[in-house]
Amino acid sequence: MSKSRFALTLIIALFSVMLGFAGVSSKKEPAPLNDLIPTQSKSFFPNTSLRSATHGQPTVAPKLEGCVTCHGQIEPMHKYGTTETLDKLNNGKDAVGLTCTACHGGNPVPRKTSDDPQAIQQIKEQAHVRAKFPAEWQRDGKFTGANPERTNTLLARESWEFIRFINPGDLRVVPKTCGGSACHDIESRNVARSMMTHGAMLWAPRSITTAAFL
Ligand code: HEC
Ligand code: HEC
């Protein structure tokens, strides 16, 4: 074999080895986000464009949730998304494609059809998650957004769904809301152990806290 022929064969062999490696390493790339989300949280975020990646399938026209027929003026929960920045809701979704019920739960079907206060009250009751102990959530004989002043023991007795409804950021439910997908799982876990949450060390005598850092 001539020298140049040998060199050519060597180069071709090297190339094919490199290509082989490229093939192997591309197989090791992380799975698409959608596949990483456990089935449970997939159903938890039903209408999200971010998570229900369409992968070339025809896109279904977005359905507007009934919540926005009453809460239409609310600002988007996420203003900044990967591709867009929103000042107002886009089809009832925020900038990362989350709808109200993705975080709060509740029934997205009932919608406001008239301005009659009684009708609004009725629809609202159908859409909202009801408390297990509704009487205790009243103020001045009315159910309003003004919740009782002290809710600690009340919340401890309430249903998981109700807690999520009034505050998706409550640490009792946060593993299924903000931390329920690959989004804020680390933050959700860390905040539960934060000094701002458990309060340990906050009230130690000064001499002890300073000594610990000397
Ligand atoms: C028919 C109108 C109407 C619809 C539909 C509606 N809401 Fe409301 N919502 C209200 C009103 C009015 C309040 C103010 C507080 C009250 O009167 O209970 C409220 C209050 C709330 C609160 C605060 C509750 C609290 O106790 O702190 C949340 C959260 C909420 N709505 C979310 C939703 C979500 C999510 C949906 C859709 C699943 C929805 N709402 C659908 C009218 C509505
Ligand atoms: C990314 C998750 C997320 C999305 C999406 C979201 N919310 Fe919220 N919402 C929260 C959190 C967290 C709070 C804070 C609760 C608190 O501080 O008490 C909140 C607060 C609220 C409150 C005030 C509750 C109170 O007691 O004062 C209302 C009303 C509300 N959301 C309605 C909506 C509606 C309507 C939509 C859809 C347009 C929506 N939210 C979308 C997470 C979300």
Q: What is the pLDDT of residues 40-88, one digit of tens each?
A: 444 444 444 344 444 555 566 557 999 999 999 999 999 999 888 999 9
CB distance 101 to ligand 1 below 6 Å: yes
- Separation in Å, CA 126 to CA 14, 36, 112, 116: 68, 34, 11, 16
Measured by CA distance, the residue closest to atom 34 of ligand 1 is 67
Please, what sign has the CA dihedral across residues 154, 194, 77, 32? negative
CA atoms within 13 A on the CB side of 81: 20
Q: Where in the sequence is the domain holding 183, given as residue range(s)? A: 134-214
CA of 75 to the centre of ligand 2 (A): 10
**Mean pLDDT across the stretch 1-12?**
61
- Evaluate whether residue 35 is within a structural domain: yes
CA pair distance 154, 190, nearest whole angstrom: 26
Name the closest ligand to CA 108.
1
Considering the domain architecture, whether residues 42 and 103 belong to the same structural domain is answered as yes
- Evaluate whether residue 8 is within a structural domain: no
Four-point Cα dihedral 116, 117, 122, 124, nearest 10: 110
Of the residues 70, 103, 128, the one at which a domain ends: 128
pTM of the model: 0.75
Considering the domain architecture, whether residues 51 and 116 belong to the same structural domain is answered as yes
Token readout for 88 is 């107002």
CA of 56 to the centre of ligand 1 (A): 36
Measured by CA distance, the residue closest to atom 33 of ligand 1 is 67
